[in-house]
Amino acid sequence: MKRKIGRVLAVRTWEPDTMREIDLHLPDCDMSRWQSAQHIKFKVGNFTYRDYTPSGWDAETRTCTLIVVTAHSGPGSRWGRSLQAGDTVSYLGVDSSHQQPASGRPLVFLGDESAIGHFLALQQLAGTGAEISGAVVLSEEHHRSEFGQYFTGWGLQSLRKSSSRDYAELEEWIAGLGIEMHKDAVFYLAGYSREVVRLRRLLRRKGVSPGHVRAQGFWN
Chain residue at closest Cβ approach to ligand FAD: 74
Q: Does residue 27 have a cis bond before it (omega within 30 degrees)?
A: no
Residue 58 CB-half CA count within 13 A:
7
Shortest separation between residue 53's beta carbon and ligand FAD, angstroms: 4
Minimal distance, residue 139 CB to ligand FAD, in Å: 8
Backbone angles phi, psi at 78, to 5 degrees: -65, -40
State the chain's maximal CA–CA distance in angstroms: 50
Strand order in the sheet with 186-192: 156-160, 132-138, 107-112, 186-192, 213-219
- Considering only CA atoms, give the Rg of the chain: 17
**Of 70 and 102, which has the nearer Cβ to ligand FAD?**
70
Q: CB-wise, 170 or 177, nearer to ligand FAD?
A: 170
For the bound state, the minimum distance from the C-beta of residue 69 to ligand FAD, rounded and expressed in Å, comes to 4
Minimum Å distance from CB 102 to ligand FAD? 19
Q: How far apart are CA 209 and CA 49, in angstroms?
A: 35
Residues that bind ligand FAD (CB under 6 A): 39, 50-53, 66-69, 72, 74-77, 97, 114, 117-118, 164, 218-220
Closer of 118 and 214 to ligand FAD (Cβ): 118
Kind of pairing, strands 38-45 and 48-52?
antiparallel
- Nearer of residues 52 and 187 to ligand FAD, judged by Cβ: 52
Least Cβ distance, residue 178 to ligand FAD (angstroms): 30
Distance of CA 117 to the CA centre of its chain: 3
200 and 189 Cβ atoms separated by less than 8 Å? yes
Q: Of 22 and 126, which CB lies nearer to ligand FAD in the complex structure?
A: 22
Q: Which is nearer to ligand FAD, 50 or 182 (CB)?
A: 50
CA 42 – CA 212 distance, rounded (Å): 31
Least Cβ distance, residue 211 to ligand FAD (angstroms): 21
